Amino acid sequence: MRLSFTDIINSQDTEQKTAKMRLYGQIGYDFDGNSFAKEMLYLKDQGVNKIIIVINSVGGNVPQGFSIINAMHELEEEGIKIKTLNIGVAFSMAGIILAAAKRGQRDALDYANQMIHDPSFSGDPENIPESKKEMLQKTKESLRTILSNSSGLNIEIIASMMEKETTLNAKEAKKNGLIDNIINTSIKPKLSAEMSNYSQMVACASFYDNKKDSNKHIINANKKAMELNNLLGLNVEASESAQIEAVKALKEKSQKALEMENKAIALKSEYSALEKKYTEIEEKLARSEAEKMVNTAIENGQIKADTKELWITNAVNDPTTTQKMLNSFEVVNLNGARKNEQKSGDAEMTIKEAKEVIATFQALSSEEMDNMTELEYLKLDKAFDLTR
């Protein structure tokens, strides 16, 4: 088994082999409490007969904390000495682990602090179901029993201290039976009331080990955790579970954005297909109307059949102007007789002149065609008549 929390101090001494385990960070977030407990039990198989649990923790997951306390008691029953040492902060569940060792084996540096309080569920207390409220009450009773047995204080005093959240310095913790020995230090870490619990923990961990090698990974991990919290828009002290939830939320938003992008692409493609289909239908309708218009003109003898495609093209591009042009032509029955009397136009026109008139007309814009006079239409009509 790979040792993640342990240093074997005197590995060559077969009679007195001591291990130092570092309980640093937040239980269940910075490290797994169950893994910590399994490593404690593994040390027994490696011939370790004394374990010093160095604590610098703001607490954390209660069930995982119970795993650690249970491993402590199991090893103590088998004759392995368990000593706890608070080197900075032992808050919440970490404070209970500190007190859970046998009396006489619980130490604290003179600047260390210990805090005990009631456990709680995250979220709105009003919305906690009754089953969870009952579970919470049983957990409170279990923690109170551990502290009462460890300190010698009665349950009612412990319950009062936990309910109002009590923080004690080393002297106060010893007076209340939560630790046994205070280790005096000549130099103390620089702590202030303005520092958060998490910041105090990091400062104490850095100060305790002069070499800093053994707890370097904890400090680096905490720095990285703070950087990650900043990137995720969380409080710098946000737990690992909060980080996981934030990442899950980001992943969900990313997935939704990807789904929306894919839908937008599909809709764009669908719109393009519909637009193309609509254009095709419009073109077919325009062609159909143009053919109808031109066929009628051919039937009326207004234009020749061999010019049909030319007139259809004109009718598709500009149906209004084309219809006006066709309306200006004389209607002739199938026998070649005129159905309408030719409108005035006394002067005779040569074929050459007729072609010039038609050429001039074809060069006109739509607006110029709309402004043509009746006389000009008659002249154009005669020109077309002569060129048929």
Q: Looking at this protein, which amino acid is placed at residue 168?
A: L
Q: Is residue 318 part of a domain?
A: yes
Please give the pLDDT value at position 338.
46
Say if residue 228 is in the same domain as residue 294: no
* Number of neighbours of residue 37 by Cβ within 10 angstroms: 20
**Strands, E assignment, the chain:** 6-8, 18-27, 50-60, 81-91, 106-109, 113-116, 166-169, 181-183
Neighbours of 133 (CB within 10 A): 12
Q: What is the mean pLDDT of each run of 10 residues along the chain (388 residues)?
A: 81 76 93 94 92 95 96 96 96 97 95 93 73 90 96 96 95 96 80 63 59 46 67 70 83 89 90 89 91 90 87 90 84 51 50 83 79 73 76
pLDDT at 339 (0 to 100):
45
Does some domain include residue 171? yes
pTM over 0.75: no
What's residue 300's pLDDT? 87
> What pLDDT is stored for residue 11 in this prediction?
56
Which phi and psi (to 5°) does residue 191 adopt?
-120, 150
pLDDT of amino acid 354? 83
Residue 246 covered by a domain? no
A 10 A CB-CB count for 384 gives 19
Tell me, what's the pLDDT at 224?
67
Q: Which among 176, 203, 232 is the end of a domain? A: 232
Answer whether residue 292 is part of any domain: yes
DSSP SS3 for 7: strand
The structural domain count of the chain equals 2
State the residue range of the domain holding 285.
270-387
Q: Are residues 168 and 301 in the same domain?
A: no
- Same domain, yes or no, for 203 and 297? no
Cα dihedral 150→152→157→162 (10° resolution)? -10
* H or E element that contains 238: none
* pLDDT, position 343: 40
DSSP letter at 332?
B
DSSP for 124-172? -GGG--HHHHHHHHHHHHHHHHHHHHHH---HHHHHHHHHT-EEEEHHH
| Model pLDDT, residue 230 | 74
Residue 238 lies in a domain: no
Residues 213 and 313 in one domain: no
Amino acid at position 231, single letter: L
* Number of neighbours of residue 234 by Cβ within 10 angstroms: 17
For the chain, give me the number of helices (H) and strands (E)? Answer: 14, 8
Considering the domain boundaries, does residue 239 fall inside one? no
Q: Which residue among 214, 232, 250 closes a domain? A: 232
Q: What is the CA radius of gyration of the chain?
A: 48
Asked whether residue 259 is domain-assigned, the answer is no
* Cα 23 from Cα 123, distance rounded (Å): 27
**From CA 7, how far away is CA 1, in angstroms rounded?**
14
224 and 276 together in one domain:
no
CB-based contacts of 146, cutoff 8 Å, min separation 6: 69, 96, 99, 100
> Nearest CA to 297 among 289, 306, 305?
305
Together in a domain, 219 and 336: no
- Catalytic residue positions, numbered: 92, 117
For strands 50-60 and 6-8, give the pairing. unpaired
For residues 95 and 170, give the distance between their C-alpha atoms in angstroms, rounded to a whole number. Answer: 12
Could you tell me the CATH number of the domain that includes residue 96?
Answer: 3.90.226.10
111 and 27 part of one domain: yes
Domain boundary among 168, 202, 232: 232
Same domain, 72 and 163: yes
332 found inside a domain: yes
| Residue written as token pair 């913790």 | 173
State the amino acid at position 10 in one-letter form. N
pLDDT at position 1: 77
Q: What is the rounded CA–CA span in Å between residue 45 and residue 143?
A: 29
